[in-house]
């Protein structure tokens, strides 16, 4: 086996990377013209109180400045290349510690589900952030359909692994594809944890994880795994890709925490995207501003140790 060239794929604090940013900004117009791959479909979603008062990030920014390494490691790569991905038909294989295992077609997953719009803060571990009007539903609804057994303690997720439609897989041959993530059962069942099928009132652009992706607003963005094809309920803590790559830098929990710095940069503040290259940094909030809702999940845990 070839040794993983970690330096090739590790995320960088984007404020250390102005040149790349400039290049990205110069290319924005082009990226957006060919971005938004697939067919944006208007979605019927009930508005909710989530995020009232937050300033929503420009759609242009949220759909052209992405992390989706299956389409390249550059921020503008996903908007350029994700149109190659076929998202219809789509199904999710649900298994492990459940009474109703099987291959769930997307239509079945959405059957009887009322879509909601929820405006959430989103904070990448690289210290940039955005505010997104997601459209979707609580992950708990899907997990209940699968009917977990008493032994289910964690939920493991897996992204589509289709190199012929995802050129970034070939460009980073030593990355441990497929991209995988995991949550503890109580995190997965938390009402804030959602499966998003859309954003900005329309179906998800491919670069943002069509046709369905996870959104866990109090955790660093890499937990919010895209284009999910497999969900497995497990007894043991599952592997997550970034922890596997560099366990010293990326933990399993990855709760947003301004008091625990990344070994290579501070997590105390963040740069909102879409506000111009030199937009003022904002202080990062504990649990990304969702402490009231989620702090109790971690009562008694050392969050420096369990980062
Ligand atoms: N399959 C997959 N999911 C992924 C990633 C990825 O590279 N592959 N990147 C993660 C990271 S680091 C972030 S910050 C978010 C970015 O989501 P966005 O592009 O919709 O903003 O997706 C996460 N989900
Ligand atoms: Mo991220």
How far is the centre of ligand 2, averaged over its atoms, from the C-alpha of 111 (Å)? 31
Distance 99 CA to ligand 2 centre (A): 33
Q: Confirm or reject: Cβ of 221 under 6 Å from ligand 1.
A: yes
Contact 211, 227 (CB under 8 A): yes
- Tens digit of pLDDT per residue, the chain (307 long)? 444 444 555 554 444 343 343 444 443 433 333 334 467 899 999 999 999 999 999 999 999 999 999 999 999 999 999 999 999 999 999 999 999 999 999 999 999 999 999 999 999 999 999 999 999 999 999 999 999 999 999 999 999 999 999 999 999 999 999 999 999 999 999 999 999 999 999 999 999 999 999 999 999 999 999 999 999 999 999 999 999 999 999 999 999 999 999 999 999 999 999 987 778 899 999 999 999 999 999 999 999 999 9
Distance CA(55)–CA(63), nearest Å, equals 16
Instruction: Check residue 86 and give its pLDDT.
Output: 98
For 58-75, write each residue's pLDDT tens digit. Answer: 999 999 999 999 999 999
**Residue/partner pairs of 295-299 with CB below 8 Å, 24 or more apart:** 297/184, 297/186, 297/187, 297/190, 298/253, 298/255
Q: Distance between CA 260 and CA 88 in Å, rounded?
A: 41
Ligand 1 contact, 71 CB (< 6 A): no
pTM over 0.75: yes
The protein residue whose alpha carbon is closest to atom 19 in ligand 1 is 66
Nearest C-alpha neighbor of 145 from the set 172, 106, 119: 106
The C-alpha atoms of residue 130 and residue 155 are separated, in whole angstroms, by: 26
Q: What is the pLDDT of residue 276?
A: 76
The protein residue whose alpha carbon is closest to atom 10 in ligand 1 is 222
Q: Kindly give the distance from the C-alpha atom of residue 25 to the centroid of ligand 2, in angstroms, as a whole number.
A: 19
Q: Is 174 helix (H, G, I), strand (E, B) or coil?
A: coil
Ligand 1 contact via 63 beta carbon (within 6 Å): no
Helices and strands counted in the chain (H then E):
11, 13
Which of 181, 209, 267 for a ligand 1 pocket mutation test, highest count of atoms within 8 Å of Cβ? 209
Question: 93 is written with which tokens?
Answer: 């294989």
pLDDT at 11: 58
Per-residue tokens: 266: 């501070």
Taking CA atoms only, the protein residue closest to ligand 1 atom 5 is: 68
Concatenated DSSP letters of 112-141: TPPPEEEEEEEE-TTSEEEEEEEEEEEHHH
Ligand 1 pocket mutation pick from 72, 197, 224, 274 by most atoms within 8 angstroms of CB: 224
Q: Which atom of ligand 1 is least distant from the CA of 66?
A: 19
In the reported structure, the alpha carbon of residue 214 is separated from the centroid of ligand 2 by a whole-number distance in angstroms of: 13
Amino acid 190: pLDDT: 99
């Amino acid at each position: 086996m070839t040794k993983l060239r970690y330096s090739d794929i590790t995320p960088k604090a984007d404020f250390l990377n102005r040149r790349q940013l400039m290049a990205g900004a110069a290319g924005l117009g082009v990226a957006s013209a060919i971005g938004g791959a697939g067919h944006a479909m208007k979605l019927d979603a009930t508005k909710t109180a989530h995020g009232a008062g937050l300033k929503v990030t420009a759609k242009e920014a949220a759909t052209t400045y992405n992390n989706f390494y299956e389409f390249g490691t550059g921020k503008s790569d996903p908007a350029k290349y994700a149109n190659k991905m076929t998202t219809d038909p789509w199904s999710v294989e649900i298994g492990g510690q459940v009474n109703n295992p099987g291959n769930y077609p997307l239509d079945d997953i959405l059957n009887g589900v009322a879509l909601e719009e929820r405006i959430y803060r989103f904070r990448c571990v690289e210290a940039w952030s955005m505010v997104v009007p997601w459209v979707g539903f609580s992950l708990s609804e899907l997990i209940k359909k699968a009917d977990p057994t008493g032994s289910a303690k964690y939920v493991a997720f897996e992204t589509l692994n289709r190199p012929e439609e995802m050129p970034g897989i070939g460009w980073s041959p030593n990355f441990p594809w497929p991209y995988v993530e995991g949550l503890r059962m109580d995190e997965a069942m938390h009402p804030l944890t959602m499966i998003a099928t859309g954003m900005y009132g329309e179906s998800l652009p491919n670069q943002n994880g069509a046709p369905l992706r996870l959104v866990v607003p109090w955790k660093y963005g890499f937990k919010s795994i895209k284009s999910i094809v497999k969900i497995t309920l497990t007894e043991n803590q599952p592997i997550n890709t970034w922890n596997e790559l560099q366990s010293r830098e990326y933990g399993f929990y990855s709760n947003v925490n301004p008091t625990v710095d990344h070994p290579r940069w501070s997590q105390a503040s963040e740069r909102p995207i879409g506000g111009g290259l030199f937009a003022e940094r904002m202080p990062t909030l504990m649990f990304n501003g969702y402490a009231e809702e989620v702090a109790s999940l971690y009562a008694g845990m050392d969050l420096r140790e369990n980062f």
